[in-house]
Chains A and B, each alone.
Chain A
Amino acid sequence: QVQLHESGPGLVKPSGTLSLTCAISGDSITDSFWWTWVRQTPGEGLQWIGEIHRSGTTNYNPSLRSRVTFSLDTSKSHFSLKLTSVTAADTAIYYCARRGHAHCGGDCMSIDSWGQGILVTVSS
C-alpha cells in the first residue's frame, strides 16, 4: 500500500518561496497515477493545487499557475512543489496525494491516497 509523506519548512517569509517534497513509499511511480498537491485553509477549505504525471505533464490550478512549479524524481520516488512570492494567504496545511487507479481509467481516476499533511505558515 502506498504511503506518502510531506516534508519541508514549516515557516516561510512573505515574498519567499515555499518548497515541499512528498516521499512515496510502498509503490512505484507508474503511468497509472497522477501525483497531486492539495491545500487546506480554514477560510477556503480544500483547494486543488495541481498534479504531475510520470510523463512530466502537469496540470495547475489557474489561480496559482503563475507561482507554482511541480517536479517529479522517479529515481528517488518523490515529487515536489515550489510556490513563489508567498503571502499570508498561502498559510495552509499542504497535502500530497495520489490520483489514479491501477486497473481502470476514466472516472476511476480519483484520489485514493493522502499524505498526513504539513502546516506551512507564511510570516516574518
Chain B
Amino acid sequence: DIQMTQSPSSLSASIGDRVTITCRASQEIVNYLAWFQQKPGNAPRSLIYAATSKQSGVPSRFRGSKSGAEYTLTITSLQPEDFATYYCQQYKSHPFTFGPGTKVDI
C-alpha cells in the first residue's frame, strides 16, 4: 500500500494567516492527489483533485501545488470557516489511502 504522511499534524493560526499543509506519498503518485476538508460532525468535503485543480465551488484562497515529491495545500488568507481538519488522499494505486490529517485551529 502507498503510505501517506502529512505535516504538521496540527497547527494554530489566526484569521488572515497563510497556512501551508504538506503531504508526501511513499511511492510516486503522479499528481493523483486529492485534498479534503472535514469539520467536526460533518462529512469530508472535496477541495482539490489532480494535485492542483479545484473542485467546483471551492474558494480561490485554497491552492494545491506540487514540488518534487511533496504536495502542498495552501490557504492564502485563513477565514473563520476554514478551521477544520484537512486530509490528503492518493488515488493512483489501489487501495487508495488517506493521510492522517492536519487539524487547523485557532
What is the interface size of chain A, counting residues whose CB is below 8 A from a CB of the partner?
Answer: 25
Q: Tell me, rounded to whole Å, the shortest Cβ–Cβ distance linking B41 to chain A.
A: 9
Q: Is the CB of A111 within 8 A of B50?
A: no
User: Is A69 among interface residues, defined by CB-CB distance under 8 A?
Assistant: no
Q: Is the CB of B98 within 8 A of A111?
A: no
Q: A107-B30, A110-B34 are in contact. Are A48 and B96 (CB under 8 A)?
A: yes
Bound complex: CA of A99 vs CA of B55, how far in Å?
A: 12
User: Which residues of chain A have C-beta atoms less than 8 A from B89's C-beta?
Assistant: 46, 48, 110-111
Binary contact track A20-35/B, C-beta < 8 Å → 1, others 0: 0000000000000000
Q: Is the CB of A111 within 8 A of B46?
A: yes
Bound complex: CA of A59 vs CA of B44, how far in Å?
A: 21
Bound complex: CA of A85 vs CA of B49, how far in Å?
A: 35
What is the interface size of chain B, counting residues whose CB is below 8 A from a CB of the partner?
Answer: 25
Q: Tell me, rounded to whole Å, the shortest Cβ–Cβ distance linking A2 to chain B.
A: 11
Among A46, A48, A110, A114, the residue within 8 A (CB) of B49 is A110
The residues in B between 56 and 106 inclusive whose CB is less than 8 angstroms from any CB of A are 87, 89, 91, 94-98, 100-101
Bound complex: CA of A115 vs CA of B43, how far in Å?
A: 7
Q: Is the CB of A114 within 8 A of B43?
A: yes
Q: Tell me, rounded to whole Å, the shortest Cβ–Cβ distance linking B50 to chain A.
A: 4
Chain B residue with the shortest CB-CB distance to A99: B91
User: Is A66 among interface residues, defined by CB-CB distance under 8 A?
Assistant: no
Among A60, A110, A114, the residue within 8 A (CB) of B45 is A114
Name A's B-contacting residues (CB within 8 A).
45-48, 50, 59-63, 95, 99, 101, 106-117
